[in-house]
Amino acid sequence: MNASQTSDVPTLLVKIFGKDRPGITAGLLDTLAAYSVDVVDIEQVVTRGRIVLCVLVTEPAQGLEGSLRVTVHNWAESMKMQAEIISGIGDNRPRGLGRSLVTVLGHPLTAETAAAIATRITKTGANIDRVFRLAKYPVTAVEFAVSGVETEPLRTALVTDASKLGVDVAVVAAGLHRRAQRLVVMDVDSTLIQDEVIELFAAHAGCEDQVAEVTEAAMRGELDFEESLHARVRLLAGLDASVVDKVRSEVRLTPGARTLVRTLKRLGYQVGVVSGGFTQVTDDLKERLALDFAHANTLEIVDGKLTGRVTGEIVDRPGKARLLRRFAAEAGVPLSQTVAIGDGANDLDMLNAAGLGVAFNAKPVVREAAHTAVSFPFLDTVLYLLGITREEVEAADILDLD
């Protein structure tokens, strides 16, 4: 019997609840098999060792429903499970048009917050079709499959002031494209790494405070990036080139950075970085993390000293978006399938150009303009926004150790 044939025929919903152990699913299906019914739908969830198993089956041959009910209840009793059997017609109604995935990251995720999110979803006129926990570490990540409303109004209703609720919320259109996101491009300073590379150089040049001041102003969007870059690099003039190696060793990856890159690579994603910092550091990161793409400014070095100038094409705010497009073209990935991650004002064009722009522990101006925001200091939480579960990440890690 195919799906269209089951739409108006009598069906029985058989629900089992109790302590999970091996053989429950097989036992119930075996019991039902004696009545030659068809499985129309089946769903099983295990939460803290308790199983909820729902099997929707076609009605048994005439006169046998009473017997089926008794047999299932007897089986359940013998297994110390609760059973419920509900008669009805057909299958689930088809899900509404406009299907989205809402990912909520909380640490903790309070019931109050979850209630607020669910209420907002409902108020848009959408329906929550499924709820699924993606991860419990390092944050609690939950995915709601929602239908009945277009993605944009849902995003507006949920993401705009998610920070007020103390959680991060991402809303993306559901569909095959989600499985095909194939390029992730990250900013470097305060995104892939915890540091601002120019400040590491400045510490060696003894001009840390002056440089930090200019960086802050630039990141707030108060200063033109290119001007601020030149101003800061000028302060490094005369520094010995041996400082490059020292700075490379001082760079601290953001927690979760290795997990993020390793997992994405395993899934066949291409991963790149674009930085308003320097190739002297990004080339090293590209090698260490086996990145596919890296582009940054280059500090000019003459006779073993930094000249206080940068060479080549400047990577600034529009430059980062340009590089995202270039990487996407080289990777053969449509722009709509790209993910960009960044924290600063100079990442905004790139975040907006990408299919999914993620503001990572970003300044408010960036957070508000991006598609979604992560406010936890763990880069691997971005995986959850892509629908990848912690379990999948860990399973892949174990495979790698073998």
What residues are labeled active site? Answer: 187, 189
CA 328 to chain centre: 19
**35 or 360: CB nearest Mg ion:** 360
Judged by CB under 5 A, the residue of 143, 189, 195, 226 near Mg ion is 189
**Which residue from 59, 143, 168, 187 is in contact with Mg ion, where contact means CB under 5 A?**
187
Residue 300: CB minimum distance to Mg ion, A: 22
Considering CB under 5 A, how many residues would be counted as binding Mg ion? 6
> In terms of CB distance, is 144 or 360 closer to Mg ion?
360
Contact 359, 335 (CB under 8 A): no
Of residues 59, 168, 343, 380, which one binds Mg ion by CB under 5 A? 343
Cβ-based nearer residue to Mg ion, 256 or 344: 344
60, HSE (Cβ side, Cα atoms, 13 Å) = 17
Q: Are 338 and 355 in contact (CB under 8 A)?
A: yes
Is 316 near Mg ion (CB under 5 A)?
A: no
> Which residues, 191 to 230, sit near Mg ion by CB under 5 A?
191
CA pair distance 102, 92, nearest whole angstrom = 21
Let me know: does 198 contact 230? Beta carbons within 8 Å.
no
Q: Which residues lie closer than 8 Å to 317 by C-beta, 6 or more apart?
A: 225, 345, 346, 347, 348, 349, 350
CB of 149 to Mg ion, least distance (A): 34
CB of 178 to Mg ion, least distance (A): 26
The pair of structure tokens assigned to 82 is 């609760």
User: Among 98, 148, 256, 344, which residue sits at the site for Mg ion (rule: CB under 5 A)?
Assistant: 344
Site for Mg ion, residues 68 to 107, rule: CB under 5 A: none
User: What are 138's two structure tokens?
Assistant: 């390092």
Cα radius of gyration rounded to whole Å, the chain: 27
Check if the beta carbon of residue 146 is closer than 8 Å to that of residue 122.
no
Which of 115-123, 163-171, 186-194, 360-368 is the region at the interface with Mg ion (rule: CB under 5 A)?
Answer: 186-194
CA 74/CA 109 separation, integer angstroms? 40
Give the interface segment with Mg ion, choosing from 30-38, 169-177, 188-196, 387-395 (CB under 5 A): 188-196
Contact 387, 101 (CB under 8 A): yes
Question: Which range in 59-67, 92-100, 187-195, 207-215 contacts Mg ion by CB under 5 A?
Answer: 187-195
Nearer to Mg ion, 72 or 348 (CB): 348
- Chain positions contacting Mg ion, by CB under 5 A: 187, 189-191, 343-344
